[in-house]
Amino acid sequence: MTQMQVLPPETIKVIVPLGKYVLGDPCYVVPQEDWQSLLESCDYFNLPVGLVHGTQILAFSTKYGDGTYADNKRRHYPVDAGLIGLVPFHYAENVNPEHSHVVEFSFNTVCSRNTDGTLTFGSISIETGDNSTYEDNDE
C-alpha cells in the first residue's frame, strides 16, 4: 500500500510590518557578531523569520544558492549566504548599495517565496529560479 505524503505549500507568505528595510542578502548587513545566533533562531532560515536582540529578520532561500539575481526594477542582488530578505533599517550596518537596496513599506506588506524560486517583497519580484536572470559569481 502506498503511504500518504504531505507536501509543503507552493508559496510561503509572511506579512511584514510597515517600515524601512534593507533588501538583499542579510549576511551583508546583519552585524557579524549576531549572525550565528540569528541563523540558529530560525533553523538557518528553514523558518523564514529569525530573531536577534528583539529584531525580526525575514529571509527566503534562493533557488540556486549564491550568485547575483535581478528584480523587476532591474536592480541586482549579490547573494553569498543563499538568502534574500529584509533587515529592519535601524538594525542594519554597513549598508552598501552594491549589495542591497533600501525599501520602505507604508503599510503591512505580503512577502513570499514560491517553489519556482520567485521571491516577492511587496511590488518587488526577484526570480531566483530562472537561469536567464542568474549569474554565477564563481565563473
Res. 137 pLDDT band, cuts 50 70 90: very low
Evaluate whether residue 139 is within a structural domain.
Answer: no
CB atoms under 10 Å from CB of 23, counted, come to 24
Q: What's the pLDDT score for residue 113?
A: 97
**Res. 131 pLDDT band, cuts 50 70 90:** low
pLDDT at 139: 40
120 inside domain: yes
138 is a domain residue: no
Whether residue 69 is predicted with pLDDT greater than 60 in this model: the reply is: yes
* 3-state class percentages of the chain: helix first, strand second, coil last, to nearest 5: 10, 40, 45
Question: What pLDDT score does 48 carry?
Answer: 97
Per-residue pLDDT at 133 exceeds 70: no
Q: Could you tell me the residue range of the domain that residue 110 belongs to?
A: 11-133
Rounded (10°) CA dihedral 38, 14, 55, 95: 80
Give domain status of residue 50, yes or no: yes
Domain-located, residue 4? no
| 80 belongs to a structural domain | yes
Position 104 pLDDT exceeds 80: yes
11-32 mean pLDDT:
97
Q: What grid cell was written down for 71?
A: 528584480
Provide the 8-state DSSP code for 98: T
Kindly state whether residue 101 falls inside one of the protein's structural domains: yes
> Each residue of 110-130: pLDDT tens digit?
999 999 999 999 999 999 986
Average pLDDT, the chain: 92
- Mean pLDDT over 78-100 rounds to 96
Total structural domains within the chain: 1
Establish if 6 belongs to a structural domain.
no
Q: Are 59 and 84 in contact (CB under 8 A)?
A: yes
